[in-house]
């Protein structure tokens, strides 16, 4: 009897809404019904709103069922696998949300079995690394520079320049440090990639190491991602066992290995120098720059610090050429970004699109508006340090420079939607409160300013000398922005100022604390 | 949760990391994962084993949110307090949790410790809650109560 392949994601969001239980129910039902199945735990395609998204392979097509519950499973079998059912969405590769994307970096996510070296190899796995070995480090550096790729962690620094700097710096030891401390609310693209294509990240880091002459890599993973930790741990074992990490990789003469480190719940450790401190076993306190990590990074050695998505964009740049990547996007924002639709949105999930798409297109065309069905009031982009955009700014194209112009930032591409019930004075207060909780304490504007900021906002909400406190808050924002050591204190004013600018009336009406 | 941690268990974890002070964060994380918290005695012991000052170890313990210095309850319930979850009602969910568990943040009642967390990366399935290291999504008050009831049944 033929075996039917059934895919159930093993990915945090899918599992958080019951994917494991559904997988168990499918295995049980198959056994009872005497149906031969092969249960594959794939990554998520990123259509989080459809999770758990179950696929059944019929005649080579993967038929998708959305929001499957344990109670649905018997019905799926009764209808005949792949047959008609209320939850049936048709072939997964015809779902509009997924096909209308520009999947450059996330193309294997959902498609493949993350912890199968064989499946990875079948889907171009390690092909770019082999190509790098053939062409040499200069060719890789050339392709990355030509691609115009910029750091996807938030700062948007040109990756080619960073890699070239490390390559040009003489040292007995260099490092690749992958920043997987994805702490911005509204962002989950790093996690989705690490869970859906962990071997792809490993390949990316090896390519980076080869290009700059680094023999050791570190992944700094936040502790809030325990499932990701299990998946990455296993993927590293698989890569080592397969001879893709370690000494003399595949007879190339290139040595490279990766150590996986866990964070410990500090937001600031997502800042590159704080992350390096933490990797050295210390408090995650921000370092002064210069020296740049590219010159003196981890343990004082030249270090490439890149975000997960930045690194994972590289294999296809090597495979298909930097020009191809640079051909996507607009202006100086080349290529694609994995936007993450989150918060009060009907169809939340990951949408990898070329730069230039507008916020409104993402929210309306992909996201389907708010989950509550109410009008959009504000959209926070770029995490807790990002501005709140009012509805009239939603036609801004997603482009690093266009966002800078309106006092906002794209950051790591998280888009958090709030409906008209949101109390923006409370959101401004939270921005300061979060800074007070997470400040590393090294510089005064951030450490003290954030606490004073909460107090000033509380007075405004209470109606105590609102105009004077408004001026005081603006002045405080100026000080924090100009005098803080890193983005934590320096950008906390962004969301605060955006509330003052666009939603000042909420200070009078705030029903909160 | 016992008071204190067996010295041999701490030594073993330190040995797993080569007793190298560069792994202090990893060593502490391993201790918290296995034992739930870091007692004063353990800080002294680690300072000895890693050849660091007690202030160094204490500073690191004190810096990171994960490194509790008091024993938590048998179960740890973390509710995301960050923006994406706020947009989906996490403030109301938190108020409900405090009331139904009869505890405030960072406190323990009936063996359940309630803690805030700032983003679980489950922002498209908000609000998110983590219970004993497992993330749950689309958690409303009713689902929260069911999850907690499940904890009580499992003991």
Average pLDDT, chain A: 96
CATH at residue B144 = 3.40.30.10
Taken as a whole, chain B contains a residue count of: 155
**Best of B86, B123, B139 to disrupt the A interface by mutation (most A CBs within 10 Å)?**
B123
**Among all residues of chain B, which has the CA nearest to that of A341?**
B124
Q: Is the backbone peptide bond immediately before A254 cis, with ω within 30 degrees of 0?
A: no
A310 Cα to chain B: minimum distance (Å): 18
Considering only the beta carbons, identify the residue of A281, A371, A438 that sits closest to B22.
Answer: A281
**For A399, how many CA atoms within 13 A lie in the half-sphere containing its CB?**
16
For B5, phi then psi, to 5°, come to -125, 140
The 10s digit of each residue's pLDDT in A114-131 is 999 999 999 999 999 999
Q: Which residues of A369-402 are buried (b: 16+ CB within 10 A; e: fewer)?
A: bbbbeeebbbbbbbbbbbbbbbbebbebbbbbeb
What average pLDDT score do residues A312-333 get? 97
What count of other Cβ atoms lies within 10 Å of the Cβ of residue A448? 17
User: Does residue B69 fall inside a structural domain?
Assistant: no
Q: Which of B43, B63, B83 is the last residue of a domain?
A: B63
A184 and A412 in contact (C-beta within 8 Å)?
yes
Residues B111 and B142 reside in one and the same domain: yes
CB nearest A384 (choices: B83, B85, B136): B83
Residue A216 has pLDDT above 80, yes or no: yes
Task: Please give the pLDDT value at position B3.
Answer: 61
My answer on whether B89 and B143 are in the same domain is yes
By the 8 A CB rule, do A453 and A496 touch? yes
CB contact residues (below 8 A), chain B span 37-56, against chain A: none
Beta bridge partners of A338: A352
Whether residue A106 contacts residue A46, with contact meaning beta carbons closer than 8 Å, is answered with yes
Class of domain A424-509: mainly alpha
Task: Test B123 with A342 for CB contact under 8 angstroms.
Answer: yes
CATH number of this structure's domain A328-419, picked from the four choices 3.40.50.1820, 2.90.10.10, 3.40.47.10, 3.10.20.600: 3.10.20.600
Q: Are A369 and A181 in contact (CB under 8 A)?
A: no
Domain boundaries, chain A: 4-99, 117-325, 328-419, 424-509
- Domain enclosing residue B132, as ranges: 75-154
- B105 within domain boundaries: yes
Say what the ipTM of the complex is: 0.97
Put simply, the answer to whether B63 touches A265 (Cβ < 8 Å) is no
Whether residue B91 lies inside any domain: the answer is yes
Strand residues in A344-487 grouped as ranges (E): 349-354, 376-381, 388-390, 414-419
On whether residue B2 sits in a domain, the answer given is no
| pLDDT score of A140 | 98
CB B77 within 8 A of CB B113: yes
CATH of the domain at B41: 1.10.10
Per-state percent for chain A, helix, strand, coil, to nearest 5: 45, 15, 35
CA distance A442 to A445: 9
Q: B143 and B94 in one domain?
A: yes
Q: Which two tokens stand for residue B107?
A: 């406190």
CATH match for A4-99 among 3.90.100.10, 3.40.30.10, 3.30.1490.20, 3.40.50.150:
3.40.30.10
Do B58 and B79 have their domain in common? no
Residue among B22, B59, B124 minimizing CB distance to A13:
B124
CB atoms under 10 Å from CB of B99, counted, come to 10
Among partner residues B60, B87, B120, which is closest to A344 by beta-carbon distance?
A: B87
Report whether B111 contacts B151 (CB < 8 A).
no
Q: How many domains does chain B have?
A: 2
Q: What is the pLDDT of residue A509?
A: 86
Which structure tokens are listed for A409? 């930032």
| Residue B68 falls inside a structural domain | no
Residues of A in contact with B115 (CB under 8 A): none
CA A465, CA A444: separation in Å to the nearest integer?
26
What average pLDDT does range A183-209 have in this prediction? 98
Cis peptide before A7 (omega within 30 of 0): no
CA distance B37 to B42: 10
Same domain, B100 and B150: yes
Cβ distance B59 to A283 less than 8 Å, yes or no, reads: yes
Select from A467, A409, A457 the least CA-distant residue to A433.
Answer: A457
Q: Taking all residues of chain B, what is their mean pLDDT, rounded to a whole number?
A: 95
The edge-to-edge listing of strands for the beta sheet with A54-58 is A37-40, A4-7, A54-58, A61-65, A88-91
Indicate if B83 and B143 belong to the same structural domain: yes
User: What is the rounded average pLDDT of the residues A404-413?
Assistant: 93
pLDDT in tens, A32-64: 999 999 999 999 999 999 999 999 999 999 999
Which residue from B minimizes the CA distance to A262?
A: B26
Q: Mind listing the pLDDT tens digit for each residue in B58-101?
A: 999 999 999 999 999 999 999 999 999 999 999 999 999 999 99
Residues B129, B81 share a domain: yes
Alpha helices (H) in A439-465, listed in sequence order: 444-462
The dihedral over CA atoms of A65, A66, A67, A71, expressed in degrees to the nearest 10, equals -20
Which residue has 């080579």 as its token pair? A60
Q: B139 and B89 in one domain?
A: yes
Q: Same structural domain for residues B144 and B83? A: yes
Residue A118 neighbours by CB distance under 10 Å: 11
Contact by Cβ (8 Å): A459, A469? yes
Q: Are A4 and A37 in contact (CB under 8 A)?
A: yes
Nearest to A284 among B63, B86, B137 (CB): B63
Is the pLDDT assigned to residue A434 strictly greater than 60? yes
Could you tell me if B105 lies within 8 Å of chain A, comparing CB atoms? no
Q: Which of B63, B94, B110 is the last residue of a domain?
A: B63
Is residue A85 scored above 90 in pLDDT? yes
Domain A117-325 belongs in CATH node 3.40.50.11540: yes
Tokens, residue B102 = 């009869």
- Which of B55, B121, B136 to mutate against chain A (most A CBs within 10 Å)? B121
Query: Minimal Cα–Cα distance from B109 to chain A, Å?
Result: 23
* CB atoms B86 and A430 under 8 Å: yes
Statement to judge: residues B56 and B82 lie in one domain: no
Look at residue A1 in the predicted model and tell me its pLDDT. 62
The pLDDT assigned to B1 comes to 43
With an 8 Å Cβ cutoff, are A282 and B24 in contact? yes
Residue B49 lies in a domain: yes
Instruction: Give how far A441 is from chain B: nearest CA, Å.
Output: 10
* Nearest C-alpha neighbor of B93 from the set B149, B153, B138: B138
Cβ contacts (< 8 Å) between A511 and chain B: which residues? none
- Are residue B36 and residue B87 in the same domain, yes or no? no
Cβ of A281 within 8 Å of Cβ of B60? The answer is yes
Residue B114 lies in a domain: yes
Give the pLDDT confidence of A230-257 residue by residue, as tens digits: 999 999 999 999 999 999 999 999 999 9
pLDDT at B155: 67
Say whether both B20 and B82 belong to one domain: no
Residue B140 lies in a domain: yes
**Inter-residue contact A410 to A403 (CB < 8 Å):** yes
- The predicted-structure confidence for A360-382, as pLDDT tens digits, reads as follows 999 999 999 999 999 999 999 99
């Amino acid at each position: 009897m033929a075996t039917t392949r059934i895919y159930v994601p093993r990915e945090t969001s899918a599992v958080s809404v019951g994917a494991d239980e559904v997988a168990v129910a499918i295995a049980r039902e198959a056994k009872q019904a005497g149906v031969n199945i092969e249960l594959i735990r794939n990554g998520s395609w990123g259509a989080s709103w459809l999770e758990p998204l179950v696929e059944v392979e019929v005649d080579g097509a993967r038929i998708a069922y959305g929001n499957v519950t344990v109670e649905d499973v018997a019905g799926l079998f009764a209808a005949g696998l792949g047959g008609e059912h209320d939850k049936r969405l048709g072939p997964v590769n015809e779902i509009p949300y997924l096909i209308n994307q520009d999947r450059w970096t996330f193309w294997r996510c959902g498609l493949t079995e993350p912890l199968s070296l064989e499946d990875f190899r079948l889907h171009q796995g390690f092909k770019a690394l082999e190509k790098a070995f053939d062409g040499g480090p200069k060719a890789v550096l050339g392709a990355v520079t030509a691609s115009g790729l910029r750091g996807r962690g938030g700062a948007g620094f040109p990756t080619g320049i960073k890699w070239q700097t490390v390559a040009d710096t003489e040292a007995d030891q260099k490092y690749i440090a992958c920043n997987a401390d994805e702490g911005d609310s509204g962002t989950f693209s790093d996690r989705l990639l690490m869970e859906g294509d962990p071997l792809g990240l490993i390949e990316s880091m090896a390519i980076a190491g080869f290009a700059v002459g680094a023999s050791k890599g570190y992944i700094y993973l936040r502790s809030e991602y325990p499932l990701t930790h299990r998946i990455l741990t296993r993927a590293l074992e698989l890569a080592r066992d397969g001879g893709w990490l370690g000494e003399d990789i595949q007879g190339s003469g290139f040595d490279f290995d990766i150590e996986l480190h866990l964070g410990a719940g500090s937001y600031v450790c997502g800042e590159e120098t704080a992350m390096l401190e933490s990797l050295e076993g210390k408090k995650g306190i921000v370092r002064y720059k210069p020296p740049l990590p590219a010159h003196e990074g981890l343990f004082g050695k030249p270090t490439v610090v890149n975000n997960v998505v930045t690194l994972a964009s590289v294999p296809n740049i090597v495979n298909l050429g930097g020009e191809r990547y640079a051909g996507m996007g607009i202006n100086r924002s080349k290529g694609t970004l994995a936007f993450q639709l989150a918060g009060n949105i009907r169809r939340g999930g990951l949408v990898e699109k070329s730069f230039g798409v507008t916020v409104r297109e993402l929210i309306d065309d992909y996201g389907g508006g708010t989950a509550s069905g109410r009008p959009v009031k504000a959209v926070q982009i770029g995490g807790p340090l990002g501005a709140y955009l009012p509805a009239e700014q939603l036609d801004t194209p997603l482009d690093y420079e266009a966002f800078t112009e309106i006092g906002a930032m794209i950051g790591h591409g998280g888009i958090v939607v709030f409906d008209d019930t949101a109390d923006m004075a409370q959101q401004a207060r939270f921005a300061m409160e979060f800074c007070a909780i997470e400040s590393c304490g090294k510089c005064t504007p951030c450490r003290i300013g954030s606490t004073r900021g909460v107090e000033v906002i509380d007075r405004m909400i209470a109606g105590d000398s609102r105009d004077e406190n408004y001026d005081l808050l603006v002045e405080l924002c100026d000080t924090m922005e100009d005098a803080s050591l890193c983005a934590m204190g320096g950008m906390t004013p962004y969301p605060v100022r955006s509330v003052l600018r666009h939603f000042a009336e909420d200070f009078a009406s705030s029903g909160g604390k | 949760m016992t008071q204190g941690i067996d010295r041999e268990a701490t030594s073993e974890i330190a040995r797993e990391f080569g007793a190298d002070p560069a792994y202090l964060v990893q060593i502490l994380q391993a201790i918290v994962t296995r034992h739930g918290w870091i007692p004063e005695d353990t800080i002294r012991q680690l300072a000895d084993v890693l050849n660091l000052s007690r202030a160094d170890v204490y500073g690191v313990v004190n810096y990171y949110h994960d490194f509790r210095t008091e024993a938590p309850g048998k179960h740890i319930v973390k509710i995301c307090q960050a923006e994406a979850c706020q947009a989906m009602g996490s403030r109301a969910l938190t108020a409900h949790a405090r009331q139904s568990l009869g505890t405030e943040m960072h406190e323990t009642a009936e063996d359940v410790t309630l803690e805030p967390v700032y983003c679980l990366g489950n922002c498209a399935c908000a609000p998110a809650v983590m219970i004993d290291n497992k993330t749950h999504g689309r958690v409303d008050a009713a689902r929260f109560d069911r999850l907690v009831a499940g904890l009580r049944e499992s003991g």
